[in-house]
Structures are given as structure tokens and as C-alpha cells.
A and B are shown apart, each in its own frame.
Chain A
Amino acid sequence: MTPKKKRRLIVLVLVMLGLGTATALVLTAFQDNLVFFYSPSDLKEHPPGARGIRVGGLVALGSVQRPSDGLTVQFTVTDLQTSVPVRYTGLLPDLFREGQGVVAEGRLRPDGVFEAREVLAKHDEKYMPPTVADALKRAGQQHATSTLVR
């Protein structure tokens, strides 16, 4: 083998090694860390089990309650067809309001309450999280979304 070929071979082996490692890393990470999005209707039709998921929809009007400690918040997320109660302990985003779009990440408890680890509301009043808009649309509320999405 000429030195040139040998060098090429070494580089090739290194590249394959790098690519292999990367693929393995990506695949294992995907297996554990992909977070799927559910609308409240999806939750009812295909319960996700104990897997971590995201639920999105509108915060139902008049549903926000704060039990005694002042940090736990309970509210209902709805796609105007089905709704799911959500419990969250922590600081809500500045733009969290009743009637606004919201995405919560967490797990569905066996008793049907969604335990949120994180609540996301986008940092713009005019903005409706697209996943939420889509969920509302699929629930057959086109007229509602067209006014809610700017």
C-alpha cells in the first residue's frame, strides 16, 4: 500500500467511525427524547400512556384556579371540542392568559389530569402557537381560528 493510499484509508476509517458514532447517538437520542404534540381530542382518542408529551390548545375562560400555596395553578386546555385539566407548579409565562393559546409539556396522569413540567406561551400577543391553531382547526373550529390567528 502506498503511503497516500494508507493515509486515505485511515481518513476513511476515521470518517466512518465519526459518522457511525453520530448516527448511533442520534438514533438513541431520538428514541428517548422526541416529544409528540397532542390536542385534547387526540388525548382522548389515542391516550399516550406515561410518555412525555406536549398538549396544546386554548386556556378555557374562567378555568384558571390557584389553590392555597399560590404557586400551583390548575386550568383547562381546550380545543373547543374536548378539554383536559392541567396542573402546573411554577412560574407561568408573562403572556399566559385565559382565552389565549398555550402549549404544556409533561405527562398525563392515570386520573386524566395533565401534570405539566413546563408551560409555554409565545412572546407575542398576536401570535398563536401554530400547533395550537392546527389542533383547533382539526377540531372543526375553522371560523374560530381565523379570528384567533391574526
Chain B
Amino acid sequence: MFPELGHYALVLALLVALVQATLPLAGARRGDAGWMALAGPAALAQFGLIGFAFATLIQAAIVSDFSVLNVVQNSHSTKPLLYKIAGVWGNHEGSMVLWVTILAAFGAAVAAFGRSLPLPLKARVLAVQAMIGTGFLLFILATSDPFQRVDPAPLDGNDLNPLLQDPGLALHPPFLYLGYVGFSMAFSFAIAALIEGRVDPAWARWVRPWTLAAWTCLTLGIALGSWWAYYTLGWGGWWFWDPVENASLMPWLAGTALLHSAIVVEKRDALKSWTLLLAILAFSLSLIGTFLVRSGVLSSVHAFAVDPARGVFILGLLTVVIGGSLVLYGVRAPALKTGGLFAPVSREGALVLNNLLLATATATVLIGTLYPLFLDVLGAGKVSVGPPFFNATFVPLMVPLVTAMVVGPLLTWKRADLAGVLGRLATVAALAALAVLAACWYHGDGPVMALVGVALAAWAFFGAWVEWAERIGLFRVPLAISVRRAAGLPSAAWGMTLAHAGLGIAIAGMTGSAFWVSERIQVAHPGDTVEIAGYHLTFREVEPVAGPNYDARRATFVVTRDGRDVGLLTPEQRHYTVTGMPVSHAAIHTTGTADLYLALSDDDGAGGWTIRLYHHPLVPWLWLGCAVMVLGGLVSLGDRRLRIGAPAVRRRPAAAAAALAVFGSDGR
């Protein structure tokens, strides 16, 4: 019963989306307030309907309704509740429903909280959102029906891929999609602005919170996925430059660029058409990411050709959305008035440099990801583009980016004194040099790149705090005044400091794991002691353990360091009974500055077990750094100047305020 209602709700949502995509747009053109006002309630109704459909799908999974094909294929009655729910988006159909649910949620948020938005802009934004929604709802209904029934219903399901039964990966898709789909807001605002032919600081101010929210969620989503890869795949790595990973990195890079260029629009009324282009590109890359992951084209061009319905549909959708928006951009963008001028050495100039480097980096990742596909389509042979390619292209672009990241915030708008700013950075340079010396002393001679990494990490981290210290006049004015100034600092300023410092911490983690990792693979027998990086691990025993839906063999290792007891490591080799898949479950001991990582593999039939042991210095900082970046995003979101509907006219340039007055925005 419920699955049919869910399916019906999706069809209704499609109809609502069609109305929402057309009438408000026509209303905005004709100046018909009634038609424009339709957009809000339609967006809310759409969210209600799609949300209901999503809820029925979750309900079917929770009660293990095995008459629904999707539940049969991805669930099992013995699966823990969390994974019954997470299994809903652990497959193609369910994840597409999650996609449209989030899309509708963003639309509903604009309808509910965007009270201060001028009515025509709001109508157009929601109409563009509904167009995207229409495309994806059609896709689900035509090619990926999640509510399909099976008759007769089997007694039990096939279970979810055991690798996906993990808390990190349960939360990874929702956050990733919140990021992907969040960029649709920036996209819709950009399209609406192109239709209206006007971009001003007020526009940038409305777009920023959505972009920021999307960026924060995407950062968290990528970090969760990377963390999962680190502790479940048993290879001890956290990033493999896999096309699926690249698919999420590209929108992140473009989104980061957008976040920065929108600042220039907001503060200086410049870089307007570039910002619109970035908004279009960020969402287009999100769509390309969805296409790459969802069409099966990655596993093989041939697999794509065998079952082309889905792939062709998404490819068509991609062409319409990206092609259409770029054509609109090409026609309308030249008509936009150019704004404030600036010298090359200025805050604007630094942000342009940031955008250039990020855009170039995005392009290299895109080329590396798509090149094997092109060759395959042309029949020119099968190749793979692996980590060495990306390390050779991506890293050289990130070095100048991170270097400039510290200088940029200290530059003044319009025209800046570079020599003076560099003089103020002497402290940061000294601290970075100290960090390099400390790394040399601690790790002895390492590769030069490791020292470059440490220098960059320290430069970014301390640079962020020096800028913060300058803002509050730390050590120049009495401490009490500094504290008061820090308390009065806008949240957006705090957010930037945290995000930049977080990146510094994360770079330290990347450097440590890339250059100072020690690895041991060997066969161990109970009673043996293995040594790595000063730790001694004594292999005690292997015992059978029963999990909720798996049988495991669990090894126990006693860990000591300099004779002191550190604890137990208990890696498992799990065998999932339903799918018959073996999965090794690594054990990790973390000290906060390093991870001891132990994975158990097969036995050799003679009482010996193959183990893989890693000592990963600084890896915990990678996760800490990502967490700090996310925190920065959240803090910045709390900025009252960005709060949707907050009175924001005060600090706005007079021209923009006048433009607002024309629209009759009362700012609440």
C-alpha cells in the first residue's frame, strides 16, 4: 500500500514541479504577482510530496517489506536498523530519491525563509529549481522506479554490500548530496539573475549562505567518504584519485572558487559574470559527478552501452542543463554592467588568483578523470590514469594557492602594498621555518616534498591566525580590548580564519601520511611479536566471533611501547553470511598525532596469519583539519549579515540599497 502511495506522490510531485517551473516564470515576465506568488506554495507542496515518497521507502526498508524489489536487493531482516535505513540510499534508485528530496528541501527552504527576496527573483529561482526537479523526477519515474514490487515476495533479502554497512558510509551520501544539490541553489540564483539581467551585491549576499551551506556539507561528505576508505578498505590510504572520488572533488573545487568570487561581487560589485559562470560550472560539475557515478559509464563505456536507458537519460539531462545554461550565459552575460576597478595587487587580485588556480586544478582533475573514457570511446585502447598523474598536476597548483591564501586576506581592497604585507608575514615565515626544523629533527632526513608540505601546513595555519591577530590588534592594544574586538568580530571573519587554519591542519595530515608512513606486511603466528615505529605488538590469539549478520575471526594483539602497556588491537576478518563476502575490519589505535593501523588477512593454513601493519603519523590531523574547516563553514553561516531575511541594508552600498528600494524589499 505505502509503496504505491509513494510512487503516486512522486507522480504528483512531478506535476507540481511542472507548474512551479512554468507559471511563476511567466508571471515574473508579465509582472503578474499572483502567478509569481504561486512558486512558494508549490515548492512547499513539492517538498511535502517527495518527502512523503522518501518516507515510504524508508518505512518499507525498516519493516523489511520484501515485496518491494529495492528492499529485496539491498536489505536483509538481520541487518542492524541503522543500515536498513542507510541501505535506502546505498543503491541507485534510493539515492536518486534522496537527491530529489534534498533538491525539494532546498526549494522549500527558499520558499519558507526567503521572505526578504524580491518576488520576481524568488519566483524565477524557484522556477529554475523546479526545472531541475522535473528532470530528475522524470528520470526516476522513467528509468529508476524504487517502488517496483516483486511477486511472489521472497522470504528474505539479498543484503546490502557489507562494505557499505558502516556508520561513516551511512552518512556519507546524504552529506555529499546536500553539497551537490546545494550548488543547485547558486545555479538557480545565477540563472534567475541572467534572466533578470542584473547582478548586484545584494544578489551575492543572497547566494552566499546557500553556497556556504553546500560547501560545508560537501566538505563533510568528502571527509566522511575518505575516512571510510581509510579505515575499511584495509589499504591504509585515504584518497586514491578514483574517478568516483574525483567526481566529488571537482564540484568542491569549483564551489570553493565560487565562495571566494562571490565575496568580490558582494564587497566590490566586480567579477560578476565570472561568478555567474562559476555558479553554473559548480552545479554542472555536480551533475557530471552524478552522471559518472550513476550511469555506469565509469566501470566501462560498454557497460554503459549495454544498459543505456539511464545513462542516456542523465546525459541528455546534462546536455540540456549545462548547454542551456551556458547558452543563456553567452547571450545575457555580456550585457551585465562591469563593476569596480582594481589593481592587480589587491584583495580582488588575490581572489582572482585563487579562482584561476582552483579553476585550473578543477580542469586538470576533469581531464584526468574523463581521458580514459574518451580513449575508450574512440577505441584507442584502454588506459588508466592513476595517482601519479594527479600528484604531478594537482599538487603543483595547490602549492601557489596555499601560499597566496595567507597573503590574500591581508591585502586591502582596490590597491594594496605587497611589500608591506610581506613584511607583516615575517612572523608566519619564521614559524613555518621552525616547523620545518622540528620536522627535520623529529623524522631525520625526509624527501624534500615532505618539508615543503610541512612548511605549507604551518604557513597556512599560522597565517590564518596572524591575520586574525591583526584584526583584533593582539599585543598592540591592551588584551582586554583585543578580547572585546575578538568577541565583536563578524562570524564570517571567524569562519574564514577557522577554514583556512583547518586546511593547514589537513595539509599536515596529508603530508605525514604521504611521506612518513611505515608499513609492514608479514605472516605472524600466535605468540610472535611484531615491531613498528617503536611499538611492539604481541599476537595473542585468533577467536571466532558472531556478529548480527556476519561471522568473524578476531585476532588479539597486545600493544606496548617502551615496555608500557598501550592497549589491545583486535582486527577482524568478517564473513558476511548472506552475501558470502569476506571483509577485513581494521583495528586502529590513535594517539592524536599518529595512528597505529592493523588489518588481518587470510591464514596460511599452517597457523600463520597475514597481517598488514601501518604507522601513520599525523593522519588524525587530516580528519581534525576537515572538521575545523566544516566548523569554519558553520560559524560563517551564523553571520547575522548573511541571515536570510535579516536587515542588511545598513552596510550595503547606496546603489544596491536603492535597487532594493525599487523592489520594495523592506528587510523585514
Contacts and interface: CB of A to CB of B under 8 A. Distances in A.
Interface of A: 3-4, 7, 10-11, 14-15, 18-19, 21-22, 25-26, 28-30, 32-37, 54, 66, 69-71, 90-92, 94-95, 123-125, 127, 130-131, 133-134
A70 B382 contact: no
Contact of B610 (A70, A130, A134): A70
Contacts of B582: 94-95
Contacts of B486: none
Given A71-B523, A91-B601, A125-B580, A134 B388 contact: no
Given A21-B360, A70-B610, A92-B601, A32 B522 contact: no
Contacts of A92: 601-602
A91 B602 CA distance: 9
Contact of A33 (B161, B352, B392, B522): B392
B421 interface: no
A18 B359 contact: yes
27 contacts: A3-B341, A4-B338, A10-B344, A11-B352, A14-B356, A18-B357, A18-B359, A19-B360, A21-B396, A26-B368, A29-B368, A29-B389, A32-B388, A34-B389, A35-B386, A37-B381, A37-B382, A37-B383, A71-B521, A71-B523, A91-B521, A91-B612, A94-B601, A125-B580, A127-B299, A130-B300, A134-B300
Interface residues of B, number: 50
A134 to B, nearest CB: 7
A33 B523 contact: no
Contact of A130 (B299, B371, B604, B608): B299
Contacts of B560: none
B385 A34 contact: yes
A35 B385 CA distance: 6
Contacts of B393: 22, 25-26, 29
B356 A15 contact: yes
Contacts of A125: 579-581
Given A14-B356, A35-B386, A94-B584, A66 B604 contact: yes
Given A7-B341, A25-B392, A25-B393, A131 B360 contact: no
Contacts of B161: 123-124
A92 B234 CA distance: 11
Nearest to A39: B382
Contacts of A15: 356
Contacts of B608: 70
Nearest to B612: A91
Nearest to A123: B163
Interface string B334-360: 000010011010000000110011011
B396 A71 contact: no
A78 B386 CA distance: 24
Contact of B300 (A28, A34, A131): A131
A22 B364 contact: yes
Contacts of B612: 91
Nearest to B573: A94
A91 B163 contact: no
Interface string B353-385: 100110110011001100100000000011111
Contacts of B384: 34-35, 37, 54
B580 A33 contact: no
A54 B382 CA distance: 10
Given A14-B356, A37-B384, A71-B523, A7 B342 contact: yes
For the complex of A and B, 3 pairs with smallest distance between CB atoms: A130-B300, A70-B523, A37-B382
Given A14-B356, A18-B357, A71 B610 contact: yes
A94 B599 CA distance: 11
B306 to A, nearest CB: 9
B377 to A, nearest CB: 14
A90 B645 CA distance: 59
B171 interface: no
Contact of B396 (A19, A25, A34): A25
Given A29-B389, A29-B393, A94-B582, A36 B381 contact: yes
B360 A33 contact: no
Interface in B606-663: 608, 610, 612
Contacts of A124: 161, 581
A33 B389 contact: yes
Nearest to A131: B382
Nearest to B581: A125
B44 interface: no
Contacts of A66: 604
Nearest to A37: B382
B485 interface: no
B386 A94 contact: no
B550 to A, nearest CB: 13
A11 B580 CA distance: 58
B253 to A, nearest CB: 13
Contacts of A36: 381-383
Nearest to A135: B382
Given A34-B384, A131-B382, 17 more contacts: A4-B338, A11-B352, A18-B360, A21-B397, A25-B393, A25-B397, A26-B368, A28-B392, A29-B393, A30-B371, A30-B389, A35-B383, A36-B382, A36-B383, A69-B523, A95-B582, A133-B300
